[in-house]
Structure 1
Amino acid sequence: MRTIGLCVVALALLVTGARAEPQTPARKPPAAKSQPKLTDAQLEAAIRAKFAKSKIHEDKFTVRVQGGVAHIEGKTDVIQHKGVATRMARTAGAVMVDNRVQISQAAKDKAAGNLEQGRRRVQVKRGDTRSDERPPK
């Protein structure tokens, strides 16, 4: 009886041991970005260098970096330059960008005119003249 009990226990251990999942090593936390952290002065210089190599250098934006946050100020006549400045600061390593670039009224008016002209082109292509008279169905 005793040997049967030991056999049952041994068999139970074998069965549960076979089903036990192998231990996996603990996961390592994701590696930090490979770029070393820049000081504020280095980051500011990197952003200014990126601006100097692009068309937005003509806008002469002012750049300040404090605590990894880039503060950009100035005025532009090209709407896209505001977004470009933000993207360049982020790719240079800024943690966050405070973009206070102002777009001139002339640029806003030009964009609104282009938008309206684009709508007219689409309407003509579709055959819709946006008139009050609708053809009968």
Structure 2
Amino acid sequence: MNDLTTSLGFAASGMQAQATRLRHVSENIANADTPGYHRKTISFHEEMDSGQVTAGPVRLDRSELTRIYDPGNPLADETGYYDGSNVDLVLEIADAREAQRSYEANLRMFDQARQMTQSLFDLLRR
């Protein structure tokens, strides 16, 4: 029984980590046109004592910002350029799909453990 509840905890931690990842991906997509915006990234860490997955700290992608030529923009410098964002929508959509699939896999694992627990309770009631 303890193994089933442990697997429920593993699946729940995976879903929570992927939900955090999806939140940051959606923030990146929403700010793709925000001047000076650096995309946010996170990494995952396994907690050694419990084996659960947690989202690490948010980091800003320090790659170069896109230079946009628009002399009429109030943010433009004397050459007519201003800094855009470093968000690549194709990369963000791929990250979102990967996070969604990982979330769904954890959800299936959670549901399977829940069904096994329910079956065990049904057997014990007989």
Q: TM-score, normalised by structure 1?
A: 0.24
RCO comparison, higher one (Cα < 8 Å, 6+) = 2
Q: TM-score, normalised by structure 2?
A: 0.25
Higher radius of gyration, 1 or 2: 1
